[in-house]
Structure 1
Amino acid sequence: MREVAPPFIPEVRAMLDALLPGVQAALGPGLVGLYLRGSLALGDFDPVTSDIDFLAVTERPVTGEQFAALAKLHERLATLPNPYAHHLEGSYIDRAALRRFGPDERRHPSMGPDWSFDWGDHGADWVLERWIVRERGVTLLGPDPKTLIEPITPSELRTAVREQLRWWAALPDRPNWLRRRSYQAFAVETMCRAHLTLRTGELPSKPQAVAWALGALPEEWRPLIERSRLWREDETPDPDTLPEVMRFVRWAAETAS
């Protein structure tokens, strides 16, 4: 196993030590590789708020038998006495679909802290996730991810970000899933990162994007961005702050260039 990007804490290693052999057993020779993405790859892992984000690459699309084995694996992993047992987020994507992600190949097995293992849609955000795996991903098993994923250009990153922003802007004024402050922080951070990616053509970590936004975005949004730093660990429902968050979301979408 390749060394994981810092910070690397024992609980994360223990979870990976359970995940990797479980995926190998479920997929057998159909497993091409297993990679870390998200904050563990970008170097901004927060032991309190971050998830363990992974990508499993398969030789061919997951079969019904493999899907059933993976479902049992994730049920078992969720019972482990580990703080990250309910903070795994991963997808299983076959080699051909991963190489150049297309609009007709967007349903793949996935799971996360807020949804059970199932077939799930993979939208424009997976252009960004592919970039992270290719350029910064941590290899747990398998070949260099650059051999599996075609280069993603700055133009492609910007196009994917604009599509993401259109999705966010189309949300209702008070989406129920954004009532918690932690999720509102996620929305604010995502907007900051979107604007920095549009300017640079690269994908920074969210803390890097927030730090940049505090000095670069209009003054009127800075108090909200500052508060988002405090909300990352706060699960309190706060519908009163949601309208301001959604105004920021729509501003971010309207001013994207």
Structure 2
Amino acid sequence: MLNPHPTRYAELNGVLHDLVRGAQAALGDAFVGAYLQGSFALGAGDLHSDCDFVVVVRERPDAEQEAALRALHHDLPRRDGHWNRHLEGSYAVAADLRTTAGLGREWLFVDHGSDTPEWSEHCNQPWTRWILREHGITLVGPCPAELMDPVPAEVLREHARASLATITDDVLAWCPPRIAWCQRYLVVQAARSLYTVRTGEVASKRDALRWSMVHGEPRWRPLLQQVLADRDCGFDPHAEPRPGSMEAARAFAAHVASVA
């Protein structure tokens, strides 16, 4: 039975209903279950979030199934509404998902707001798996813990440390430093990675910022408070960072990489 109220947004619940029914029609018996991970699973989803989903499939979609899924995701963003343009997720192959041996394998992935799925390892990462297993919201299907083994804390820590080594270059390679949202994103990603290194778990953006205010050095609190306060600004490609804030973000990311 489909979960009728997986989030507090009625419109989003309707979009998720259409997503699940469309995926079931496209996949037939290959459909296993559908879930939310990401910010909504962590209890932090709001109007500035994307909605991260995972649909588990028995095997890699064949040509006919893939074509039907592509048609579904070509149609969804073109409908009227808000949340139909803010979905992001993957069609996870059950055998890949079962153990960490399947980490990094490509799944059919729909980027935030995209109408063209692509094959990508984007959702097949330790932190997305951890959120799915430990906090995932079931839309329909078995509990996520029945489909996957736990993600060891050291696997999470190892990947977080590795990402911190190049975090600034990686973020600014696709997110221009002239955009205020990118300044906030860099700080958030650094804070979340440090949280994972220290705890072996994954936190939402807000919780990672708040944790860093409490457990980090006091000199970074104004920066963290600025990023937390500015979250409600959302994404605006024309909004520039506050004076000096990008430099502070770079310094914070370098600091986190050095202490992690």
Give the alignment's TM-score, normalised by structure 1.
Answer: 0.89
Deviation for aligned residue 1:172: 7.9
2:150 corresponds to which residue? Answer: 151
SS of match in other structure, 1:56? strand
Q: Structure 2 matches for 1:27-176, cutoff 5 A?
A: 27-46=27-46, 48-102=47-101, 105-113=104-112, 115-122=114-121, 126-171=125-170, 176=175
Question: Which consecutive residues of structure 2, in runs of 5 or more, have no partner in the other structure?
Answer: none
Q: Structure 2 matches for 1:233-244, cutoff 5 A?
A: 233-234=233-234, 235=236, 236-238=238-240, 241-244=245-248
Structure 1 residue identity aligned to 2:196: T
Structure 2 residue identity aligned to 1:141: V
Deviation for aligned residue 1:222: 1.7
Deviation for aligned residue 1:78: 0.5
* Alpha-carbon spacing, 1:164–1:172, altered in 2? closer, same or farther (3 Å): closer
* Alpha-carbon spacing, 1:167–1:33, altered in 2? closer, same or farther (3 Å): farther
Higher deviation after alignment, 236-245 or 52-61: 236-245
Structure 2 residue identity aligned to 1:210: L
Q: In 1, Cα distance between the equivalents of 2:68 and 2:122?
A: 25
Deviation for aligned residue 1:28: 1.1
Counting matched residue pairs gives: 254
2:100 touches 2:151 (CA, 8 Å); kept in 1?
no
Per-residue CA distance 1:60-86 (angstroms, 9 max, x = gap): 012222221111101111012221111
* Alpha-carbon spacing, 1:72–1:125, altered in 2? closer, same or farther (3 Å): closer
Deviation for aligned residue 1:255: 1.6
Structure 2 residue identity aligned to 1:15: V
SS of match in other structure, 2:90? strand
1:173 touches 1:243 (CA, 8 Å); kept in 2?
no
Q: Pairwise CA RMSD of aligned residues?
A: 2.4
SS of match in other structure, 2:110? strand
1:99 touches 1:150 (CA, 8 Å); kept in 2?
yes
* Alpha-carbon spacing, 1:174–1:79, altered in 2? closer, same or farther (3 Å): closer
* Alpha-carbon spacing, 1:18–1:193, altered in 2? closer, same or farther (3 Å): same
Structure 1 residue identity aligned to 2:69: L
Q: In 1, Cα distance between the equivalents of 2:102 and 2:147?
A: 18
Q: In 2, Cα distance between the equivalents of 1:117 and 1:104?
A: 23
1:2 corresponds to which residue? Answer: 3
Deviation for aligned residue 1:4: 4.8
Q: In 2, Cα distance between the equivalents of 1:166 and 1:45?
A: 28
Quote the sequence identity (%): 32
1:23 corresponds to which residue? Answer: 23
Runs of 4 or more above 6 Å deviation:
none
1:252 corresponds to which residue? Answer: 256
* Alpha-carbon spacing, 1:79–1:117, altered in 2? closer, same or farther (3 Å): same
Q: In 2, Cα distance between the equivalents of 1:112 and 1:175?
A: 14
Q: In 2, Cα distance between the equivalents of 1:175 and 1:87?
A: 19
1:125 touches 1:161 (CA, 8 Å); kept in 2?
no
Deviation for aligned residue 1:119: 2.6
Per-residue CA distance 1:181-234 (angstroms, 9 max, x = gap): 223222212211211221111212221111111122122222211111233234
Deviation for aligned residue 1:113: 2.0
Deviation for aligned residue 1:123: 5.6
Per-residue CA distance 1:60-116 (angstroms, 9 max, x = gap): 012222221111101111012221111000111101111124477522111122544
1:124 touches 1:164 (CA, 8 Å); kept in 2?
no
Q: In 2, Cα distance between the equivalents of 1:21 and 1:97?
A: 23
Q: In 1, Cα distance between the equivalents of 2:210 and 2:172?
A: 27
SS of match in other structure, 1:188? helix
Higher deviation after alignment, 86-95 or 99-108: 99-108
Q: In 1, Cα distance between the equivalents of 2:64 and 2:34?
A: 19
* Alpha-carbon spacing, 1:228–1:24, altered in 2? closer, same or farther (3 Å): same
Q: In 1, Cα distance between the equivalents of 2:129 and 2:224?
A: 27
Higher deviation after alignment, 173-182 or 214-223: 173-182
